[in-house]
Structure 1
Amino acid sequence: MYKQFICARTKLSPPDGFRSKTYLDWTIWVSPGLPVSEIRDGDGRVLGLLLGWFIKDDEFISSDSAIEIAAAPSRSRNPFNSLCGRFVVFCEYDGNPSLLTDAGALFPVVYDKSREIIASSSCMIPEVTAENRDPATIADLDLLTERGWYPFGLTAHAGIRRLLPNRALNLASFDATRTWPLEDEDDFRKHHGESDETLLQRLCESLSGRVKTVTAAQPTIMHLTGGWDTRMMLSAARESIRDIDFRTYRTGGSGGKLDQQLARLLSDRFKLKHEFVDLLPVSEAERRDWMWRTGYCLNDHVIGLSTTECGVAQAGEVTLAGAAGEVARAFYWNSDDIGKSPPTPEILLQRLGFKNTEILNDEARRWLEGLPKGSACWVYDLAYIELRLGCWAGVAMTGHDIPLPSISPFNSVDTFQTMMSFSDRYRADGGLCKDIAKRLWPELLSIPINRAAGLRKLLFVRQELSATMPPGLKEMLKKYLRR
């Protein structure tokens, strides 16, 4: 078992092969290959531990190490906001021993307050099974029979909560405190009121620099499709292109065929090291194991990739992915939302594609009440980061039983802060995604995004219609069609 941890004050029996570390009176057991880095101050004093993979100061850390920070994080200063990767941090926050997530909680964390246990997945917590899932939760959404994911920090088991992104979990009280953003939207924009051009330059330098850092450190894979995330990632990889092997899975349906067609055009025109990979079948036993490793909290098409991922993974090989890049393209909102008031719980659930049940409505209301004040666009951006990334993308990390996770150069607080500082109109019109490509590799735009070229468009009518549809509406339709 890979990419998992569990910690407690009491003695537990971890899975075979796990090693132990300590933070104060907590014992932390980590799976094979999960890096543990000591956090030290300038005088060499140990402040805590960081579990996971991350980029810091032009270095990609993928093994046990030590990092230096000036002081433990607080509301006024958080040195982990500049770190990019998948990680959790054990250290003080505002003077309280805490556990902190990465920007998108792409390294997942769940916790059982009554038993004082914290883990990467509910499956790590003793006595958690498919049979003792919470009846009230699965009455709303049973992920053993339905596609979907649990938002707002819900899990499949009563008493176990998911720690949302940009939170500090107090290890004494088990209260979760927001670490970012801490100011209302108006104040946020006053403090980050730079021009779109200045922000674009900073974002492009950050993305390309992080890609270069990873490719210089380890063998690197990137998946090649026809969408915007691939095109932004490919743009950022221009200076590192000879150090990356590209793959495209031969998925079915018209969408898969379009991805394959566009991937071939990109690889041929820009001389990429590229291969197509046939998908291996996923057995029912493999599907059950995947669901168990994620704590029965996600049922998605990515399960269909699990056997293939395990089959093609090579030792030391890291995948660069565009997860979190959706913030650049206003994933849950469009130009009609600009200037509107924040959504009600009912509208938020509809936008996310969930049923308006009593449990979900109550969870949505509490989440909205805990947000810094802002417009509809502000709320939908944070919904993508905290609910979609933290409750969907992060959960999937533990599903594929391979040693290394994918790494996204977008996943850091400073990058989210930059992307959310652009004007709403600029992002809603798709300007940011296009300008990232224009700035870093403009020739890539000669090949259409998610659309066929010329007469081939007649073969992909659904994709042509989809290209004109707001992303949030597409997500709602997908959810509706799966029911």
Structure 2
Amino acid sequence: MSRRRVQTLPRASDDTVIPDPEQRHLLWARGYLYAREPSEPPHPWWRSHELGGRTLHFDPRLELSVARHGETFVAVLGIAVDLSEWLTGLGDIAEMLLDHRLRSRSAMIRALDRVCGRYIVIDGRGEHAWIQGDASCSRPVYYSTTADAYASHAHLLAAVTGSPRHPRFPDPNGLGKRTYAMPGNCTPWRDVRVLTPNTDLCLTTGEISRFFPRSRIEHRDPLLIIDHLGPLLERQLELLTREHRLLISLTAGLDSRTTLALSRSVADRVEYFCYEFPEVREGRSPEKQQDSEISRQLAERVGVTFHTVPMPYRYPEEPLLSVTRANATLFSHPALGLSHLTSGLDDRLHIRSSHFEVARRWFRRHGATQIPVDGKEMARLLTEYHGNEAPFVEEFDRFYALTDFESTEDLCDQHDLFYWEHRAGTWVPHFLAESDVAYENYTIVNARHIYEWLMSAPHRLRSNAAVQRGLITRYWPEAMEFPINGQMKEHFPAQVACAPDRASSRNWSMSGLAASLKQFLRGNSASRHFR
């Protein structure tokens, strides 16, 4: 009789990384390589594990857990929290997923809807296996179209497989103002593609399948959404502080303000910071100066430990510049990694506030027109509404067919889904890769269950971020006393804006909430069924 086995390789400290004067030790930080063909690990300190007839090489600062029963296995690499049973150990999560996998693969995928974090999952039976990323693919899965090989970094996979440069898009940073990212799921290498959210890849056949959304996302009362999501988001931070030293970035924006509010119960065990850009020190950017000042004032008002992390310059010097280009083929702030490495705030888990925008109707507020969304509309959105150049349309037509995007037409707002799967799923991971040289990154909204609930608010209330304002109002209302991106925002609901403390803010009168909500909806010409 087959027995259940769970093997866990705990994450190692930064001391396992062997420093190199040419900065090569920072190359592909917190990465992995999974391939059938025998190969040496990219770095001598990386670990190796045989899985599904292939070899997984990975940075030891990533935790790996593999649960097996007979030939069936589920492996999780990275960091995760299960929102159903509040499991934080990867071994427990892998075993839970295996229980579902033994019933059916679809049962396992449904269970993953409620697993938040930054990870990849490999599951299978024998050598017949599948791979997928987390809800936003924040730990990317790059795959080769010519070899049975997969990796965390496009450059790493291209180096292993010998892929030539993409004939049309060899340098995404050279596309200029036409685009914020690469079109479709292509990379600067011809034979390297990226797996996007809500899909998985069968390693045996090379087939990509969509598994979410599975049903229509119906509208919910925003107060119900706040009641449901608030504890899920807050509890993650409480659990993470038991195993990690948390560092939360704080800006003058809405997303980081929401994370700040949700961290109130652990604020005495968390450190907060903002970046100080060269333009601020030199007085050349009033907008960024305001961002820094509001962050400091807000931190002082609510009484949290706050740091300023200087951003020394736009581009680091060689050899770090070349390493940064290899880690993140799309630049955000290439000096980000160096700033963190020299900040003195080492050995932290960086809590980011990415992806709240998935539910804020970004493209609807920035020129989206065509319904339903197709390859041509995707290209128009990518190029900032300036045109539909043929190479971009062709790549998105391929992406549209590959991800079975058409099947989602009646299930959700396709512009929101496109933001989630393309902008968040292929663009944001490059920013995370820039700071991976210093920290692991985690986003508390990064679970399909959470995105689905955020996207279920009525459209008008999503456009004005009512749910996020409601979370701030409930968990730390004082944080609403400062401008958000230069503008004062009202509490939601406005009637409870003066909740004197956290306990009372969690026990709102439901009759008062209902009255406040009705007043708010009338004032915004919205309804629960607004489409």
Q: Answer yes or no: same fold by TM over 0.5.
A: yes
Query: 1:5 touches 1:119 (CA, 8 Å); kept in 2?
Result: yes
Question: How far apart are 1:38 and its partner, in Å?
Answer: 1.7
Once the 2 structures are TM-superposed, how far is the Cα of residue 146 of structure 1 from its aligned partner?
4.4
Distance 1:324 1:40, change over 3 A: farther
Instruction: Please say if residues 252 and 295 of structure 2, whose CA atoms lie closer than 8 Å, have aligned partners that are also in contact.
Output: yes
Residues 143 and 130 of structure 1: is their aligned pair in 2 closer, same or farther, counting only changes over 3 Å? farther
Task: Sort the Cα spacing of 1:446 and 1:197 in 2 relative to 1 into closer, same or farther, 3 A.
Answer: same
Q: Which of 305, 318, 327 pairs up with 2:358? A: 327
2:380 paired residue number: 350
Matches within 5 A, 1:77-476: 78=109, 79-92=111-124, 97-125=129-157, 127=159, 132-138=164-170, 142-143=172-173, 146=176, 148-183=180-215, 187-189=216-218, 193-251=219-277, 252=279, 253-281=285-313, 282-294=316-328, 296=329, 298-300=330-332, 302-312=333-343, 314-334=345-365, 341-353=371-383, 356-369=388-401, 370-371=404-405, 372-374=407-409, 378-402=413-437, 404-451=439-486
Render the CA deviation track for 1:289-328: whole Å, top value 9, x for unaligned: 111123x3x122x213121022236453101111111123
Distance 2:344 2:91 in 1: 18
Partner deviation per Cα, 1:417-453 (whole Å, 9 max, x = no partner): 1111111121013322211211222221111111168
Q: What letter corresponds to residue 291 of structure 1 in structure 2?
A: R
Helix, strand or coil: the match of 1:53?
A: strand
**In 2, Cα distance between equivalents of 1:376 and 1:334:** 20
Query: Shift in Å at residue 143 of structure 1?
Result: 2.2
Shift of 1:343: 3.5
SS in 2 for 1:68: helix
Which SS does the other structure have where 1:71 is aligned? helix
Normalised to the residue count of structure 1, the TM-score between the two structures is: 0.83
1:35 touches 1:64 (CA, 8 Å); kept in 2?
Answer: no
1:456-483 superposed Cα distances (whole Å, 9 cap, x missing partner) = xxxxxxxxxxxxxxxxxxxxxxxxxxxx
1:377–1:424: 8 Å Cα contact kept in structure 2?
Answer: no
**Structure 2 residue aligned with 1:464:** none
Whole-Å separation in 2 of the counterparts to 1:230 and 1:152: 29
- Which amino acid in 2 is paired with 1:222? I
Q: Which residue of 2 aligns with 1:30?
A: 58
**Partner residue, 1:55:** 81
Q: Does 1:74 align with 2:105?
A: yes
The AA in structure 2 aligned to 1:277 is V
| Paired position in structure 2 for 1:467 | none
SS in 2 for 1:268: helix
Query: Once the 2 structures are TM-superposed, how far is the Cα of residue 45 of structure 1 from its aligned partner?
Result: 8.2
Shift of 1:352: 3.0
| TM-score, normalised with respect to structure 2 | 0.76
Counterparts in 2 of 1:403 and 1:62: CA distance versus 1, 3 Å: farther
Alpha-carbon distance, 1:3 to partner = 1.1
Greater radius of gyration (CA): 2
Identity level (%): 21
Unmatched segments (≥5 aa) in structure 1: 454-483
Q: CA deviation at 1:145?
A: 7.4
How far apart are the structure 2 equivalents of 1:63 and 1:246?
30
Structure 2 distance, partners of 1:373, 1:131, is 33
* Alpha-carbon distance in 1 for matches of 2:45, 2:174: 29
Give the C-alpha shift of residue 271 in structure 1: 0.9
What's the CA shift string for 1:329-373, capped at 9, x where partnerless? 2222239869x7224434333323356322210222344452233
**Superposed CA offset, 1:108-127 (max 9, x none):** 11111312111111222264
Distance 1:236 1:40 in 2: 36
Quote the offset at 1:6 in angstroms.
0.7
Bigger drift between 162-171 and 9-18 goes to: 9-18
**1:345–1:376 distance in 2 versus 1, CA, 3 Å:** farther
- How many pairs does the alignment contain? 438
Is the contact made by 1:343 and 1:376 (CA closer than 8 Å) also made in structure 2?
A: no
Amino acid at match of 2:306: H
Contact 2:166 2:190 in 1 (8 A): yes
